[in-house]
Chain A
């Protein structure tokens, strides 16, 4: 049988809609997303509870925080972390999020499903954009989940609740906005290490916990680099989203997040286009 074969080039929107649709379908139909939402809620509640637990000798615990909202964001922008309380805020979502992104993208490769995606999508950019957006959405949801868990935990422990509501909202929005930048960064990392599932998880963890970032920051600082340089290229401006946030710091988060997204998407697309994908 011979039939006329017609080929219609799908528009950019249609291509992205297809790939995003798959990613969101996977997100909502597999346990991974829900597990990480639960982790994001439980961890801050646990941290709050643990900090007031009595010691082994019965001595009263020393609360790490004085205020519920310090579990959500640091009191001010901190570039050098001195204690666990400085880091144990919503920035932790960017650690769990990194691991979630690694598992999410790693399963694309482990299952071989990525072959279906790359067979039907000639443009590698589609893959980068879709993964970034889906993972950013998941991380943003984890921020909200963290907020709920942290608030409930803090209130149950009995921390104070006094706060500048505007700064708190801007801090939360700043973290949510930074989810996009971090998701693009982790997607990029996972594209680099796509053949090595374990390495991609490890790299996400080390970057997320700041082990590599702090190391790199020490080197960059010793070279006399200014704070804004560290902020833009290493910290991802997430430290700007603090309880001292104002509209300006929010826009810094937004600009850095968008900047990261563009840069890492371009780099990831370039890598996928120039190298064997599977």
Chain B
């Protein structure tokens, strides 16, 4: 069973497709990184799953049930665009309202629990409007966590967070999937952060899902490269370019893509009188993977 299964989902605004016959599969227990440029249809898809928007067509199933089933929807927590809290009410009051809405009996305990998860126990009586952006994001997560959700839908939850805030958020998300068995659908532009936690990825472009893969599949298919540093970077670049197809200058380093044998690279440079001061073998990260994927799509489109 999948947590989210979407088939042929479409949504248009004034005749323009924001989501265009999209298919998506999110396995139970996954942290699904939903990636795409601005306006690609990420938030629209999330709003459709949450029932905020009415789809033009297609099917959404959550845990094998239709997404309009009240039984499944009551187990969905969401943070889309903002925390959705009343500014004049305190953090505690906002959480209490959501507890009442969900019919949680031991509301005080539940509020203490979720505030503990987001490390905000001290701020329960603070008015929501007095909270910083990072705090508001964490309160939004706390709201979404109330009532033991089976699925969390988080739209850019790490936006506006400082380094420490991002680390806390990362820990929270890993904790709730591991310890509470929750499935998380998370969209973010900060791919470096997403890479640290996501178990699956979906890449959306112009409303269409162009690729879905697990973190392992991405790891396997990601290109390897050798990164090195010499005293004469220009010389090294020239020598390597003669033998290897894809050589790039990246800041203080030269990168040789798809090169498996770093010893052969060192030998080649030594023969040309270039001493290597640093060398490492790496795989491209999510960000580069995404950029390459997008460039390929753009090239295909231009060719067509």
Taking Cβ atoms with an 8 Å cutoff, the residues of A that contact B are 1-3, 5, 7-10, 14-15, 17-19, 21-22, 25-26, 29-30, 107, 111-123, 273-278
Q: Hey, which chain A residues are within 8 Å of B93, CB to CB?
A: 25, 29
Q: Decide: A3 and B181 in contact? CB cutoff 8 A.
A: yes
Q: Hey, which chain B residues are within 8 Å of A276, CB to CB?
A: 52-54
How far apart are B71's CB and chain A's nearest CB, in angstroms? Answer: 4
Q: Decide: A113 and B85 in contact? CB cutoff 8 A.
A: yes
Q: Decide: B150 and A17 in contact? CB cutoff 8 A.
A: no
| Residue of A whose beta carbon sits closest to that of B47 | A278
Q: Decide: A112 and B69 in contact? CB cutoff 8 A.
A: no
Q: Decide: B71 and A9 in contact? CB cutoff 8 A.
A: yes
Q: Decide: B103 and A113 in contact? CB cutoff 8 A.
A: no
Contact flags B171-202 to A (C-beta < 8 A → 1, else 0): 00000001111000000000000000000000
Cα–Cα distance between A18 and B98 once the two chains are bound (Å): 9
Known A30-B88, A112-B81: A19·B101 in contact at CB below 8 Å = yes
Query: Which of A14, A30, A118, A275 gathers the greatest number of chain B CB atoms within 10 Å?
Result: A118
Q: Decide: B72 and A7 in contact? CB cutoff 8 A.
A: yes
Q: Hey, which chain A residues are within 8 Å of B98, CB to CB?
A: 22, 116
Contact partner of B84 (CB less than 8 A), chosen from A8, A26, A115, A121, is A115
Q: Decide: A122 and B70 in contact? CB cutoff 8 A.
A: yes
Q: Hey, which chain A residues are within 8 Å of B101, CB to CB?
A: 18-19, 21-22, 116-117, 120-121
9 contacts between A and B (CB under 8 A): A2-B28, A9-B70, A10-B103, A15-B70, A18-B101, A25-B100, A30-B89, A116-B143, A277-B52
Cα–Cα distance between A143 and B105 once the two chains are bound (Å): 33
Known A21-B101, A276-B52: A5·B89 in contact at CB below 8 Å = no
Cα–Cα distance between A5 and B182 once the two chains are bound (Å): 10
Q: Decide: B78 and A115 in contact? CB cutoff 8 A.
A: yes
Contact partner of B68 (CB less than 8 A), chosen from A14, A30, A107, A122, is A122
Contact partner of A2 (CB less than 8 A), chosen from B29, B86, B179, is B29
Known A22-B97, A274-B54: A119·B73 in contact at CB below 8 Å = yes
Contact flags B69-97 to A (C-beta < 8 A → 1, else 0): 11111111110111111111100010011
- Beyond A25-B100, A115-B81, A119-B76, 6 extra complex contacts between A and B, CB < 8 Å: A1-B179, A10-B71, A121-B73, A121-B74, A122-B73, A123-B70
B170 at the interface (CB under 8 A from A): no
B119 at the interface (CB under 8 A from A): no
Q: Decide: A26 and B86 in contact? CB cutoff 8 A.
A: yes
Known A10-B71, A112-B81: A118·B52 in contact at CB below 8 Å = yes
Q: Decide: B78 and A119 in contact? CB cutoff 8 A.
A: yes
| Residue of B whose beta carbon sits closest to that of A130 | B101
B102 at the interface (CB under 8 A from A): yes
Q: Decide: A121 and B86 in contact? CB cutoff 8 A.
A: no
Q: Decide: A115 and B80 in contact? CB cutoff 8 A.
A: yes
Cα–Cα distance between A1 and B29 once the two chains are bound (Å): 8
Known A25-B97, A116-B143, A123-B70: A5·B83 in contact at CB below 8 Å = no
9 A-B pairs with least C-beta separation:
A9-B71, A112-B84, A21-B100, A3-B181, A7-B71, A119-B50, A122-B73, A278-B52, A122-B68
B65 at the interface (CB under 8 A from A): yes
Q: Decide: A5 and B28 in contact? CB cutoff 8 A.
A: yes
Contact partner of B54 (CB less than 8 A), chosen from A8, A10, A21, A275, is A275
B63 at the interface (CB under 8 A from A): yes
Q: Hey, which chain A residues are within 8 Å of B100, CB to CB?
A: 18, 21-22, 25
Cα–Cα distance between A2 and B3 once the two chains are bound (Å): 13
Known A7-B65, A10-B70, A10-B71: A18·B103 in contact at CB below 8 Å = yes
B160 at the interface (CB under 8 A from A): no
How far apart are B267's CB and chain A's nearest CB, in angstroms? Answer: 49
Query: Which of B73, B76, B93, B178 gathers the greatest number of chain A CB atoms within 10 Å?
Result: B73
Q: Decide: B54 and A113 in contact? CB cutoff 8 A.
A: no
Q: Decide: B86 and A120 in contact? CB cutoff 8 A.
A: no
B57 at the interface (CB under 8 A from A): no
How far apart are A268's CB and chain B's nearest CB, in angstroms? Answer: 15
How far apart are B106's CB and chain A's nearest CB, in angstroms? Answer: 15
B51 at the interface (CB under 8 A from A): yes
Q: Decide: A107 and B86 in contact? CB cutoff 8 A.
A: yes
Q: Decide: A111 and B86 in contact? CB cutoff 8 A.
A: yes
How far apart are A118's CB and chain B's nearest CB, in angstroms? Answer: 6
Query: Which of A111, A116, A275 gathers the greatest number of chain B CB atoms within 10 Å?
Result: A116
Cα–Cα distance between A30 and B76 once the two chains are bound (Å): 27
Contact partner of A111 (CB less than 8 A), chosen from B29, B70, B87, is B87
How far apart are B141's CB and chain A's nearest CB, in angstroms? Answer: 13
How far apart are A276's CB and chain B's nearest CB, in angstroms? Answer: 5
Cα–Cα distance between A116 and B63 once the two chains are bound (Å): 20
Q: Hey, which chain A residues are within 8 Å of B65, CB to CB?
A: 7
